[in-house]
């Protein structure tokens, strides 16, 4: 693989609340290659969003803090930059889109202003040039009648269209990395597919890499080249998408596979989603062994006592005592 | 748009009607007889009766009310019992100091309050925030006259930086006009600033926690633009509402401030009129003040469309 755009090394992000310390991300490693689409999957609360926010350094001030590790981007550790340097990277070299299209756009600024703003901040363009770019970007994300609609406000767009606007903002400065945190979770299934397709198409056009966060392995299958499976703030498995679907190793990954809903295809009504029994562990209590052990069908005494380290064969790696990569 | 404005102006009429009834009843049910006050201490009962007849005070209350309303609809607020001049001309003569005081206070207070409210919200939980909030509680709970006398004592009597009291018309120079307005404006504006600063802080805190503010940060927007371009415009509607409602504080405060600082404005006019039971002046001034209040709030309502595209429809 070519030099990665992003390399996250031993990332540790903790939340300091009155009830104690939550280890939301606890020693995470992964890389995103240039032009690649990497998926991060895992159940709700496993630290996917916190990972993304740590990379962008957008954690809620005073609550969450990255206490260790490195976030290497273009040869620099983003965790060492000051706020002004970080601002120059955000929205320019690394862009981000969020899960909630209905609330992620500013209701009192026109979509044109919101796209043009990025262009003016990062590329020093004049207002007129930036507005022209805004209309261009809007057309690029396939909003009909873009020239006229740049002047419209978010409430005049549907959820799917707003997510297109978010994509337009994110790609307006041609970033090297696009972080998409559950970009389609809030949308209708038919719209989901359109948005994913658009994202993939545009990222190849501008040559960006994507870090796609999702809890839906179906989305991963359709869009990613590689995938990292997260559980309780750690990586439990990593593989190419083909390998993972071919030969899921970690019992947790297998559980996730079994719970992929079938409603994507036409046919008989969806059967009940098979969920993994048990609940996600409380990240506040330090976990001695494997975090998944209490829910794992293969768990042994060793699993609850000793944390498994990541072992790999080729590009496929897994953290589990009971399976071999 | 002009249709909306016309409709809203017409909707003021019933409000003003209710105000008129309340004002009239309150004054006419209150104890004290203007005729005997005008007649003086040694007046005979016949004397007083004659004066009462002249002033129309011998008529039934409902009739007096109808006469007053009918005149008002013709733009006539009546004639002062004491001065013999029309109420309108008396208000006109006293308008400049009051308008000067109210407008300068309004402008400075709104600007200042929003600035410190935004400052507090953007430094939530720090000593800056606590300082601003402490001031807001204090500014709201200390009465205007206490602040007024305190300011006079410190800045006029002790330090001798500013005049103790009085008013200097704008026509006689900008500087004396300003120097005379500083202390009264501060006294008058204190509660108003506190009120607006508090709502600005609260609303800004809510806005700053919104998803779109995170989007703005993810775009690399600088702090100042985040606060003023992205957040403040979203907070504008609640702030504008309080700016409008708070004008009631200014109107009430003007009456006290003019008395404390001996400013010959409409506030003083009405305080003197109350002492003399000069009904027409009291009624007229209250009607004018109410009209201003209702009109300001109408303007505030109309301003919402400037801030929020969603109410433009
Ligand atoms: N603002 C916060 N305050 C305290 N703890 C937080 C906060 N945000 C996240 N956490 C903690 O971090 C953990 C990981 O949260 P995160 O939002 O990254 O989950 P996620 O994988 O993105 O889940 P989802 O699929 O629901 O978005 C949570 O379990 C929670 O305990
Ligand atoms: Mg999330």
The helix/strand/coil state of A21 is strand
Q: First-to-last CA distance in chain B?
A: 12
| Min Cα–Cα distance to chain A from B219, Å | 4
How high is the pLDDT of residue B110?
96
Torsion sign (Cα): A266, A267, A269, A274 = negative
In the structure encoding, which two tokens stand for residue A163, read together? 């997510």
Which ipTM was obtained for this model? 0.89
- What percent of chain A is modeled with pLDDT above 90? 70
Over residues A61-97, the pLDDT tens digits come to 888 999 999 999 988 999 999 999 999 999 999 999 9
Over residues A214-256, the pLDDT tens digits come to 988 989 998 999 999 999 999 999 999 999 999 999 999 999 8
**Nearby residues of B286 by Cβ (< 8 Å), 6 or more positions away:** B19, B23, B270
Over residues B154-189, the pLDDT tens digits come to 999 999 999 989 999 999 999 999 999 999 999 999
Q: Is the separation of the CB atoms in A52 and A71 below 8 Å?
A: no
Pairing of the two strands A94-97 and A177-181: parallel
Q: Is the separation of the CB atoms in A200 and A223 below 8 Å?
A: yes
SS (H, E, C) chain A: CCCEEEEEEEEEEEEEECCEEEEEEEEEEEEEECCCEEEEECCCCCCHHHHHHHHHCCCCCCCEEEEEEEEEECCEEHHHCCHHHHHHHECCCEEEECCCCCCCCCCCCCHHHHHHHHHHHHHCCCHHHHHHHHHHHHHHCCCCCHHHHCCCCHHHCCHHHHHHHHHHHHHCCCCCEEEEECCCCCCCHHHHHHHHHHHHHHHHHHCCEEEEEECCHHHHHHHCCEEEEEECCEEEEEEEHHHHHHCCCCHHHHHHHHCCCCCCCCCCCCCCCCCCCCCCCCCCCCCCCCCCHHHCCCCCHHHHHCCCCCEEECCEEECCCCCCC
Whether residues A58 and B214 touch (CB distance < 8 A) is answered with yes
How high is the pLDDT of residue B36?
78
Residues with CB under 5 A from ligand 2 (ion): A 49
Q: First-to-last CA distance in chain A?
A: 20
Q: A110 falls in which pLDDT band (50, 70, 90)?
A: very high
How high is the pLDDT of residue B34?
77
**Overall average pLDDT of the B217-237 stretch:** 95
Instruction: Tell me which ligand sits closest to the C-alpha of residue A42.
Output: 1
- Asked if the model's pLDDT at residue A260 lies above 80, the reply is no
- Asked if the model's pLDDT at residue B129 lies above 90, the reply is yes
Residue among A237, A246, A291 at smallest CA distance from A30: A237
How high is the pLDDT of residue A272?
47
How high is the pLDDT of residue B119?
96
Hey, what domains does chain A have and what are their CATH numbers? Answer: 1-93+175-260+277-283 (3.40.50.300), 102-172 (no CATH)
| Average pLDDT value for chain B | 91
Whether residues B309 and A107 touch (CB distance < 8 A) is answered with yes
A13 CB near ligand 1 (under 6 Å): no
- What percent of chain B is modeled with pLDDT above 70? 99
Q: Which atom of ligand 1 is least distant from the CA of A215?
A: 25
DSSP string, B72-124: HHTT---B-TTT-SBHHHHHHHHHHHHHHHHHHHHHHHHHHHHHHHHHHHHTT
* Closest residue to A104, CB basis, from B211, B309, B310: B211
- What percent of chain B is modeled with pLDDT above 90? 67
Q: pTM, whole model, 2 decimals?
A: 0.87
Over residues A266-324, the pLDDT tens digits come to 444 444 445 677 777 888 877 888 999 888 888 888 998 898 999 988 899 999 998 88
Q: Kindly identify which residue of chain B lies nearest to residue A115, measuring between CA atoms.
A: B219
Whether residues A105 and B310 touch (CB distance < 8 A) is answered with no
Residue among A294, A263, A300, A303 at smallest CA distance from A276: A294
Which chain A residues contact residue B218 at CB under 8 A? 56, 58, 90-91, 95-96, 98
| Min Cα–Cα distance to chain A from B236, Å | 10
Residue among B251, B260, B115, B121 at smallest CA distance from B193: B115
Distance CA A170, CA A91 (A): 6
How high is the pLDDT of residue A267?
45
B87-312 is a CATH 1.10.3720.10 domain:
yes
**Overall average pLDDT of the A40-55 stretch:** 94
**Nearby residues of A187 by Cβ (< 8 Å), 6 or more positions away:** A101, A159, A160, A163, A195
Over residues A156-196, the pLDDT tens digits come to 999 999 999 999 999 999 999 999 999 988 888 888 888 99
**Overall average pLDDT of the A142-155 stretch:** 94
* Closest residue to A103, CB basis, from B212, B236, B308: B212
How high is the pLDDT of residue A271?
46
For chain B, give the longest Cα–Cα distance.
85
| Average pLDDT value for chain A | 90
The backbone torsions φ and ψ at residue B30, rounded to the nearest 5 degrees and listed phi first, read -70, 150
A20 CB near ligand 1 (under 6 Å): no
Whether residues B307 and A100 touch (CB distance < 8 A) is answered with no
Least reliable range by pLDDT among A43-47, B181-185, B198-202, B228-232 = A43-47
Pairing of the two strands A76-77 and A64-73: antiparallel
């Amino acid at each position: 693989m070519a030099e990665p755009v992003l390399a996250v090394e031993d990332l540790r992000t903790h939340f300091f609340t009155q009830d104690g310390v939550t280890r939301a991300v606890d020693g995470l490693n992964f890389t995103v290659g240039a032009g690649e689409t990497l998926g991060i999957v895992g159940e709700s609360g496993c630290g996917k969003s916190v990972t993304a926010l740590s990379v962008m350094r957008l954690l809620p001030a005073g609550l969450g803090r990255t206490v260790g590790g490195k976030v290497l981007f273009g040869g620099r550790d983003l965790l060492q930059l000051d706020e002004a340097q970080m601002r120059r990277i955000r929205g320019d070299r690394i862009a981000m889109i969020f899960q909630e299209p209905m609330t992620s756009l500013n209701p009192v600024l026109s979509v044109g202003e919101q796209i043009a703003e990025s262009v003016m901040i990062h590329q020093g363009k004049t207002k007129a040039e930036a507005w022209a770019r805004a209309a261009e970007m809007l057309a690029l994300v396939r909003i009909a009648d873009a020239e006229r609609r740049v002047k419209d406000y978010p409430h005049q767009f549907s959820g799917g269209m707003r997510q297109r606007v978010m994509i337009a903002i994110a790609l307006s400065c041609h970033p090297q990395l696009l972080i998409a945190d559950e970009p389609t979770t809030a949308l209708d299934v038919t719209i989901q597919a359109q948005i994913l397709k658009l994202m993939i198409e545009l990222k190849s056009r501008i040559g960006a890499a994507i870090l796609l966060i999702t809890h839906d392995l179906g989305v991963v299958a359709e869009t990613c080249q590689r995938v990292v499976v997260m559980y309780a703030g750690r990586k439990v498995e990593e593989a190419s998408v083909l390998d993972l679907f071919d030969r899921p190793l970690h019992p947790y990954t297998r559980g996730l596979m079994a719970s992929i809903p079938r409603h994507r295809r036409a046919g008989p009504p969806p059967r009940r989603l098979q969920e993994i029994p048990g609940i996600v562990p409380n990240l506040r209590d330090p976990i001695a062994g494997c975090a998944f052990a209490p829910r794992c069908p293969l768990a042994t005494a060793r699993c609850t006592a000793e944390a498994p380290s990541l072992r790999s064969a080729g590009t496929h790696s897994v953290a589990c005592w009971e399976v071999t990569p | 748009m002009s249709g909306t404005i016309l409709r809203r102006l017409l909707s003021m009429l019933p409000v003003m009607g209710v105000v008129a009834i309340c004002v009239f009843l309150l004054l006419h049910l209150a104890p004290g007889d203007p005729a005997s006050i005008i007649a003086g201490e040694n007046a005979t009962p016949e004397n007083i009766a004659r004066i009462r007849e002249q002033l129309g005070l011998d008529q039934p209350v409902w009739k007096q009310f109808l006469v007053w309303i009918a005149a008002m609809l013709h733009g006539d607020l009546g004639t002062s019992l004491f001065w013999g001049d029309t109420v309108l001309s008396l208000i006109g003569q006293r308008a400049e100091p009051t308008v000067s005081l109210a407008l300068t206070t309004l402008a400075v207070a709104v600007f200042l309050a929003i600035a410190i409210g935004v400052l507090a919200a953007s430094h939530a939980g720090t000593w800056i925030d606590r300082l601003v909030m402490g001031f807001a509680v204090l500014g709201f709970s200390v009465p205007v006259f206490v602040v007024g006398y305190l300011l006079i004592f410190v800045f006029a009597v002790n330090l001798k930086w500013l005049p103790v009291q009085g008013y200097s018309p704008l026509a006689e120079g900008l500087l004396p006009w300003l120097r005379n307005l500083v202390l009264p404006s501060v006294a008058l504006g204190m509660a108003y600033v506190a009120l607006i600063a508090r709502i600005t802080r609260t609303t800004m805190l809510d806005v700053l926690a919104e998803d779109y503010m995170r989007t703005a940060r993810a775009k690399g927007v600088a702090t100042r633009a985040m606060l003023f371009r992205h957040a403040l415009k979203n907070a504008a509607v609640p702030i504008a509402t309080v700016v409008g409602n708070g004008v009631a504080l200014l109107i009430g405060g003007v009456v006290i401030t003019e008395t404390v600082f001996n400013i010959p404005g409409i506030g003083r006019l009405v305080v003197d009129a109350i002492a003399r039971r000069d009904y027409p002046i009291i009624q007229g001034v209250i009607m004018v003040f109410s009209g201003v209040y209702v009109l300001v709030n109408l303007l505030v309502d109309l301003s919402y469309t400037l801030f929020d595209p969603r109410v433009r429809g």
